[in-house]
Amino acid sequence: MERNGQQGFTLLEMVCVIAIIALVATVLLPLVPHQTSRARLQAYALQAATLLKSDRNAAIRRGVDVTTLIDPHARAIRSGASRDTLQIPDDVRFDALLPQRCHQRVSLSVISFFPDGMSCGGAIALSRLDTAYEIRVNWLTGRIEINPRAPLAN
């Protein structure tokens, strides 16, 4: 478009182009895969430890056994004391080392906490690329700790 010897775009044309770009971005952005960053992986480890500590505290406070469900296939950790669930994303490797028996009961996919603070123990590993965290539950003390470690080979 030429006016008085000058070439350029009108403000209306520019606004229309920006609106089209925003519309395309709004539609396509959810389709772009989001990968878990190191900070986000650390946050998942902290959330898992917090959920476990909450269940341990509930067992002590209420004076009853509390079991936390660890489900690597569903990629979830579910609290036994509340409705809290931590969902682990698909791009994070999720492994669990859990006792087969606890207090003469089969316990394959749970970490149990007892009123005295003790537990049957267990470990949960979260890893992605070059970063990994292991959340350990001490069987004797019920203490929960997070340890950075080398990631497992795929």
Q: What is the pLDDT of residue 154?
A: 52
- For 100-142, the pLDDT digits (tens) are 887 777 767 899 999 999 998 999 999 988 899 999 999 889 9
Task: Return the domain boundaries, the chain.
Answer: 7-31, 38-149
Domain 38-149 CATH class label: alpha beta
The answer to whether 67 touches 80, Cβ cutoff 8 Å, is: yes
What's the pTM value of the predicted model, to 2 decimals?
0.74
Neighbours of 131 (CB within 10 A): 20
Per the model's pLDDT, the better-predicted residue between 25 and 55 turns out to be: 55
Q: How far is CA 24 from the centre of its chain?
A: 30
How do residues 43-98 score in pLDDT, each as one tens digit? 999 999 999 999 999 999 999 999 999 998 899 999 999 999 999 999 999 999 99
Q: For position 31, what pLDDT does the model report?
A: 67
Rg of the chain taking only CA atoms, in angstroms: 25
Q: What is the mean pLDDT of residues 39-43?
A: 92
CA-CA distance, 104 to 55, in Å (whole number)? 21
